Chains A and B, each alone.
Chain A
């Protein structure tokens, strides 16, 4: 079990350098009234890597994503995202940082009055000056990426749970973010559909070089994402195979317990841990 200190991450000055932390939490604390959610949480996420947060319900996993995105403000501590100190930015300033981020919400959070295509292209239609034809092209491209091209004109209510999550992933990736946050992307889905979602996460990470932060309590999916990699063969066919050791080590697991980081390490370290809480969680 290793608990990193901020010194190991380097100072924020290094954030602009290649492979520097894309996200940096330093002694972040948050409480709602009497209930402590996060206590001195410190971690970093490096560019192109995957950080997987595990923990029981109410452990503060989703809260971490919301703090990264600036939807919640910590009581104390500092939060750096993509070189910006988001914990002290105004809502208007945060809009600039969010332009480079995407988030897949727990139930998809699709806009139910819009079609699938409008949902996916929302950010490009509303917040950019891109010509409509280009936006439409990008929407078709990302829907093709998640295998839902034929559903472009449907309403979200006409889709299955798994399809809605994939649309949510397509929406999050449409504006080509450098950091994608996934909040319980496979919760409530059957194992086969979960694998299709996991594959989308792997494809985005390996083919689009997107840094991923995943919150889940589905261990099977977490291991799957950490130990697989996506590539295209000579014919351009997509392949998802077992990842190399280097790639596996680029995925970091963090176990949260009672607002603290209880464990931080690789998939192998998590599997071989003898900690009773981890054992209970893994069993």
Chain B
């Protein structure tokens, strides 16, 4: 490794470590802000509306078409083994354990993560964050805590909705395209699920919601460089949150498997 490359690598490593340090500090401050006063309850409700209700359409569409396409694809494969009636089992296992949480989280990363990074980034470059501090308000409590709480509360709820809509999408395809009777489909859905799977599908979105929102806040609050910086922050937030969703999903799944099975 040449001298300049070594210097570049050390500089890159320092920047990366600084980012991680700042991210951890933000998470700790947000946790502390959640359990101490002042607590901005009205902002939490507002963010629940923005993050939860605002994302409902995209989550429903994603869930529905994922369930539908799963039914189409798995129907063809199951036909080879004469196992078409088991299509519900396959859809429920895939949707509830993995696809529901991950696809909902990826959609939220695109919609919510980018929105938070752009909003906080704009506030940074127009000195609104400094103005908040000058007016005696802690931006972490006012801006970060409500978003984190809303993300952690709404991500699991949206995932459950996505799962339900996904199973419905699968049922429509199973009924109309695969000619599987409704009773067979739904009993297969229930048979394919174990309580551990349901827990796994419910626990994972808490972690994924936390990651999406905290990354959005972290990137937004470190924005600099005017409107160009806001654009860069938005892209970075979506990319980082999407990749982290997949990484965190892997590790949380690994952890939950070791706990439940």
Residues of chain A lying within 8 A (CB to CB) of residue B40: 126
**A1 CB-CB contact with B under 8 Å:** no
Q: Answer whether residue B131 sits at the interface, using C-beta atoms and an 8 A cutoff.
A: yes
**A107–B133 touching, CB < 8 Å:** no
Encoded as 1 (CB less than 8 Å from any B CB) or 0, chain A from 66 to 110 comes to 100111000000000000000000011001001101110111011
User: Which residues A13-70 have CB closer than 8 A to chain B?
Assistant: 66, 69-70
Q: Are the CB atoms of A111 and B127 closer together than 8 Å?
A: no
Whether the Cβ atoms of B133 and A71 lie closer than 8 Å is yes
Report Cα–Cα, A11/B128, bound state, in Å.
35
Tell yes or no: B137 within 8 A of A by CB.
Answer: yes
Q: Are B127 and A91 in contact (CB under 8 A)?
A: no
Chain A interface, >50% SS class? mixed
Interface contact B136-A111, CB-CB below 8 Å: no
Task: Indicate which residue in B126, B136, B137, B138 contacts A109 across the interface (CB closer than 8 Å).
Answer: B126
Q: Are B133 and A127 in contact, with the CB atoms below 8 A? A: no
Q: Which residues of A contact B (CB under 8 A)?
A: 66, 69-71, 91-92, 95, 98-99, 101-103, 105-107, 109-112, 122-123, 126-127, 171
- Which residues of A have CB within 8 Å of B136? 95, 98-99, 123, 127
- Chain A residue nearest to B142 (CB atoms) is A126
**Contact of B137 with A71 in the complex, beta carbons under 8 Å:** no
Least CB distance from B140 to A in Å reads 9
- Specify the chain A residue showing the minimal Cβ separation from B119: A113
User: Could you tell me if A103 and B134 are in contact, using CB atoms closer than 8 angstroms?
Assistant: yes
- Given contact pairs A91-B138, A95-B138, A109 touches B128 in the complex (Cβ within 8 A): yes
Asked whether, in the complex, the Cβ of A122 is within 8 Å of the Cβ of B130, the reply is no
**21 pairs from A and B in contact (CB 8 Å cutoff):** A66-B130, A69-B133, A69-B134, A71-B133, A91-B138, A98-B133, A98-B134, A101-B134, A102-B134, A103-B131, A105-B134, A106-B127, A110-B128, A111-B128, A123-B136, A123-B137, A126-B135, A126-B137, A126-B142, A127-B38, A127-B137
Q: Which residue from chain A places its CB closest to the CB of B29 in the assembled complex?
A: A91
